[in-house]
Chain A
Amino acid sequence: MLAGSYVSQISKQNIAPPVPSLKITIGANTSIGNSCSLTVPVIFDTGASKSVVPYTALRAICQTLKLDGLPYRSAIAHDFNGGQHDVLIYELCVVGPASLTDSGIVEFIALERSFGLLGRDILNRYFVELNGPSLSWRIEHRRRSWLRCLLASIARPFRRMK
């Protein structure tokens, strides 16, 4: 289980009201055999379908690995105002904290901002509890047993009939 609290400041930036935030360690494995990891602050964002990593973190990783850049692909991002923007997506892996490492290789959007976003692509893999009144959060990775899975699949048609 992973737990933390809401914060009012991330990367020297004041945020009000407080947001659930944590620090994740991302790593890059390159085809040339080197690897490198870096810790970045992120906030929970259920409105983002994909997680976001600050460009500065990517640059730092590339600098450490002495690379001109990591391979990327592109996508179109829609913002709140309905605007469309080209974005670049990098494959990175979450290497810390330990509870999130089974996310494996995750596609991150690189944006010029001071902290990252933990989007639904990662959040939806876990049980996430946001406790607003006490300004704390909890992430739990509960695996369902095969018996629970079986029962759930049997129960589904009955639920539809209702």
Chain B
Amino acid sequence: MPTLRHAYPYSSARDQLEAHGQGQIALHEQLEREIDVCKRRLSTSEDSLFQRIQQNARTFVSTQSLIQKRQIVPEEIDLRKEIARVAENYPQFNTSHEPVHEPQLLPILEGEGLQKPIPIPDFTLLSACASHIDPETGQEHYRFYIKDGLYPALRDFLIAHELGHWWLHLQRGKLQPATESFYLHSAHEWGRLEDQADIFALITIFPTPYVSWCELEGGGTLDPSIILQEFCKSLHSPRLQLQERMLTYINKRIAIYNRYKKFLTLDLQRLRLPDGPIPPDALAGVLALLNFNKYCWAQLDKNYVVTNCSDSWAQLYELDAATIKKRKLNVVTDLTPTELQIRVRQQLNWKKENLRSTLYFPHYQHPESRQPFPVMINAYATIGSDGKYSGSIGIVTPYPATVGALESPNLEAEKQIKASGDSLEMETDYEPERSWITDSDARKNLAAYLQQRSELARKYPREYVAFVDEKLAGHDSNRKSLIDRVYRELGTLNMLIERPDLEREVIDFSRPECTETD
């Protein structure tokens, strides 16, 4: 009998019940229904069933109190390092420009000596990872179990989630149960581990280069519904409830990506490079600054030909800077793999049209060996004296950037990155720009709203929306009645009321607004 190590049902069940406004009553009803099912299935009496429930409850309470007393603390997991380790072992991990599905996950499972997930009909959990001891060899084996008949996109997520548990918590015995019944009865209480597995899964199925591409395609904004649509494009539409849950997760992925982007640009922020184009008189100064700080950079002309670069950039191609300049290499046709050339050209065109700085994750290739390698580029448009686009400067970091960031010459940024949490891609409270909102709940609530703002503006034009606990709590054309309703339904909570279709107000603390008068 395999020992159940982990299961993924709790938050899902809770959210579903909450969504129906059922709360505890529904849970109670569900429990009664479950007892009836068990009675029928096990052909056992109600008394013995209740005895078993009581026994389980006692174990649950005792393990919970152990957690509270912090007698059992899992080994601190450095998610950043773990993700870098996966990328090291599997070069295809988090470098794809497309969403990742089960077929791309299977080679990783195989590489880890794990079997294809086993479908279980009428499984009460969505997925589980169980270990069992081989009676012949005495060795422990892990297996993933997935409820049969699930929507394929959900299945993709669950496999990636279990893979997250494998890499982060189970592989090499990182998490050892203190008691035999520990995992069986208290796994759901390990919310932090679930979050880590979720983050891992989201990064796995929506790789960073893909999300950055979506951002550029969306004109600088990320629309969760478009990502969902693309993720499910060859499938029938998911049910509304599942669709909403998937959108919540995609929003989470977008939030992780945005934070990651902030971290990545942390080092560059001190250079105070403009978000807009670099004028010709500032160009020499910017290049001197980049050289002084030993950045790896290249300058392109308006036809995307490399006109200048740092020695470190030339070394990426095992060449020197003088040779690169002489050879007039085109970054699209000579240095980008054929399959990505259209995208890279579009990315460069976007910068040309908007004259704004962009962050993207293409692949470069060696001009001779054609060996591709992923990079991360912070690109800044340059303009000539006529004010028109004259080319760009790209600051390049080998990717996965988790490794690159640690190799960055700015120790201060490194310290900030390290101090910011377990992972570069993990949600943390750190914000590079000083926040004027000191209430962390309000800050999170606002961040959640801003993520969904464009979508809400489309959905509820000329309406106010209320955000409570980082979730949409209601919408109404009348602000007061919306506040009253949310107060009535949810109590006196931290409530953000906004009109998403209106531009955000800009308040000036420095000078009175100047307007032309007649």
Which A residues have a C-beta under 8 Å from some C-beta of B? 30-32, 46-50, 55, 66-69, 71-80, 82-89, 109, 111-112, 120, 160
* CB<8 Å pairs between A and B, sample of 23: A30-B487, A31-B480, A31-B484, A32-B492, A66-B492, A68-B492, A69-B492, A69-B494, A71-B466, A71-B496, A71-B497, A72-B496, A72-B497, A74-B446, A74-B449, A76-B506, A77-B509, A78-B507, A85-B434, A85-B435, A86-B443, A86-B446, A88-B439
Query: Which residues of A have CB within 8 Å of B506?
Result: 75-78
A83 to B434, CA, bound (A): 9
Other A-B pairs beyond A31-B487, A78-B508, 20, CB < 8 Å: A47-B508, A47-B511, A47-B512, A49-B507, A49-B509, A68-B492, A72-B495, A72-B496, A73-B496, A74-B496, A75-B507, A76-B507, A77-B508, A79-B510, A83-B433, A83-B434, A85-B435, A87-B437, A88-B437, A88-B439
Q: Does residue B108 face the partner (Cβ distance < 8 Å to A)?
A: no
**B435 smallest CB distance to A (angstroms):** 7
**B249 smallest CB distance to A (angstroms):** 24
CB of A47 within 8 A of CB of B507, answer no
Query: Which residues of A have CB within 8 Å of B492?
Result: 30, 32, 66-69
**A18 smallest CB distance to B (angstroms):** 21
Please give me the residue from chain A that is nearest to B505 by CB atom.
Answer: A75
A23 to B438, CA, bound (A): 24
Query: In the complex, which of the residues A46, A66, A67, A77 contacts B507, with contact meaning CB atoms closer than 8 Å?
Result: A77
- Rank and list the top 6 A-B pairs by shortest CB-CB distance, nearest first: A75-B505, A85-B436, A67-B492, A69-B494, A31-B484, A77-B507
Query: Which residues of A have CB within 8 Å of B435?
Result: 85-86
Q: Does residue B301 face the partner (Cβ distance < 8 Å to A)?
A: no
A85 to B432, CA, bound (A): 11
Q: Does residue B170 face the partner (Cβ distance < 8 Å to A)?
A: no
How many residues in B have their beta carbons less than 8 Å from beta carbons of A? 36
Q: Using known A-B contacts A31-B484, A69-B442, A69-B493, determine if residue A80 contacts B437 with beta carbons closer than 8 Å.
A: no
Please give me the residue from chain A that is nearest to B434 by CB atom.
Answer: A85
A47 to B505, CA, bound (A): 17
Of listed B438, B439, B487, B491, residue having the most chain A CB within 10 A: B439
Please give me the residue from chain B that is nearest to A112 by CB atom.
Answer: B438
CB of A68 within 8 A of CB of B438, answer no
Query: Which residues of B have CB within 8 Å of A79?
Result: 509-510
**A96 smallest CB distance to B (angstroms):** 24
**A100 smallest CB distance to B (angstroms):** 21
Query: Which residues of B have CB within 8 Å of A66?
Result: 492
CB of A72 within 8 A of CB of B433, answer no
CB of A73 within 8 A of CB of B487, answer no
Please give me the residue from chain B that is nearest to A65 by CB atom.
Answer: B492
A66 to B493, CA, bound (A): 11
Q: Does residue B504 face the partner (Cβ distance < 8 Å to A)?
A: yes
Query: Which residues of B have CB within 8 Å of A74?
Result: 446, 449, 496, 498, 504
Query: In the complex, which of the residues A46, A71, A89 contacts B483, with contact meaning CB atoms closer than 8 Å?
Result: A71
Query: Which residues of B have CB within 8 Å of A72?
Result: 442, 495-497
CB of A76 within 8 A of CB of B504, answer yes
Q: Using known A-B contacts A69-B495, A75-B506, A109-B507, determine if residue A87 contacts B512 with beta carbons closer than 8 Å.
A: no
Query: In the complex, which of the residues B443, B491, B494, B508 contacts A49, with contact meaning CB atoms closer than 8 Å?
Result: B508
CB of A77 within 8 A of CB of B436, answer yes
Query: Which residues of B have CB within 8 Å of A30?
Result: 487, 492
CB of B436 within 8 A of CB of A87, answer yes
Q: Does residue B513 face the partner (Cβ distance < 8 Å to A)?
A: yes
Q: Does residue B518 face the partner (Cβ distance < 8 Å to A)?
A: yes
Query: Which residues of B have CB within 8 Å of A84?
Result: 433
**B468 smallest CB distance to A (angstroms):** 10
**A137 smallest CB distance to B (angstroms):** 19
**B360 smallest CB distance to A (angstroms):** 23
Query: Which residues of B have CB within 8 Å of A71?
Result: 466, 483, 495-497
**B204 smallest CB distance to A (angstroms):** 31
A114 to B433, CA, bound (A): 22
CB of A86 within 8 A of CB of B437, answer yes
Please give me the residue from chain A that is nearest to B447 by CB atom.
Answer: A86
A108 to B510, CA, bound (A): 17
CB of A80 within 8 A of CB of B442, answer no
A55 to B145, CA, bound (A): 50
A53 to B518, CA, bound (A): 36
Query: Which residues of B have CB within 8 Å of A73?
Result: 496-498
CB of A78 within 8 A of CB of B509, answer yes
A87 to B504, CA, bound (A): 11
**A35 smallest CB distance to B (angstroms):** 14
A119 to B449, CA, bound (A): 28
Contact string against A for B residues 414-446, beta-carbon threshold 8 Å, 1 for contact and 0 otherwise: 000000000000000000011111110111001
CB of A160 within 8 A of CB of B497, answer no
Query: Which residues of B have CB within 8 Å of A75?
Result: 504-507
**A66 smallest CB distance to B (angstroms):** 8
Query: Which residues of A have CB within 8 Å of B512?
Result: 46-47, 49, 120
**A24 smallest CB distance to B (angstroms):** 19
Query: Which residues of B have CB within 8 Å of A83?
Result: 433-434
Query: In the complex, which of the residues B493, B507, B513 contacts A68, with contact meaning CB atoms closer than 8 Å?
Result: B493
Query: Which residues of B have CB within 8 Å of A82?
Result: 510
